[in-house]
Amino acid sequence: MSNAANRVNTGSRVNPTKVVTGVVRLSYANVHEPKSINGGTPKYSVSLIIPKSDNKTISAIQKAIDAAIEEGRGKFGGKIPNKAALKLPLRDGDIDRPDDAAYTNCYFVNANSSTAPEIVDKSLNPILNRSEVYSGVYARVSVNFYAFNSNGNRGIACGLGNIQKIRDGEPLGGKTSAADDFATDPDEDFLS
């Protein structure tokens, strides 16, 4: 994929802070209803688990983060700060989530938005059944990176765009389906 394919055309100009990922796995998927975290403004949110082998997505995210730092120069006092001094959204699952097998050998990005993402299937048809998109599903996701400087915290955040479900995956968080829970016939003597 060329660099041009990683950038998204927004009318007459290319948006260097926007990325459409390769296939990632959704975790902590709050994509149907906005939820408040620690009493904050309710938002739609998801953690995108990106295999470390997906060099195209990781490279595109790193370039978008650099572009967001450049575009956010005004929020950083007109200067480009040292990246090491900023809170960055691309994190290493092996370091930051060592006890969660879903994050092994992966990076992750937490994305959120105050507006609901459009959720579509592989043919771009809207997915209306909420049970179709859950933590564990595999999808492509559009995200946008932007600078923030608030209450002494400076860095780059990740905005959630839209979601395209690619395929089902093992649900994360230990949730099972009713079909799995009740697959066996009830024992006649259980209640007697």
Note down the domain range covering 124.
3-8+16-170
pLDDT band at 152 (very low <50, low <70, confident <90, very high): confident
Q: Beta partners for 140?
A: 164
How many domains, in total, are found in the chain? 1
We report the CATH number of the domain holding residue 51 as: 2.40.50.140
- Give alpha helix (H) positions in the chain: 3-6, 55-71, 93-96, 178-181
Q: Which residue has the tokens 């079909």?
A: 179
Q: Convert the pLDDT of each residue in 68-105 to its tens digit.
A: 999 999 888 888 888 989 999 999 999 999 999 999 99
Q: How much is the mean pLDDT over the chain?
A: 88
At 176 the pLDDT is 56
Task: Check: CB of residue 46 under 8 Å from CB of residue 28.
Answer: yes
Any idea what DSSP says for residue 6? H
Rounded to 5 degrees, what are φ and ψ at 53?
-75, -10
- 184: in domain: no
Kindly state whether residue 192 falls inside one of the protein's structural domains: no
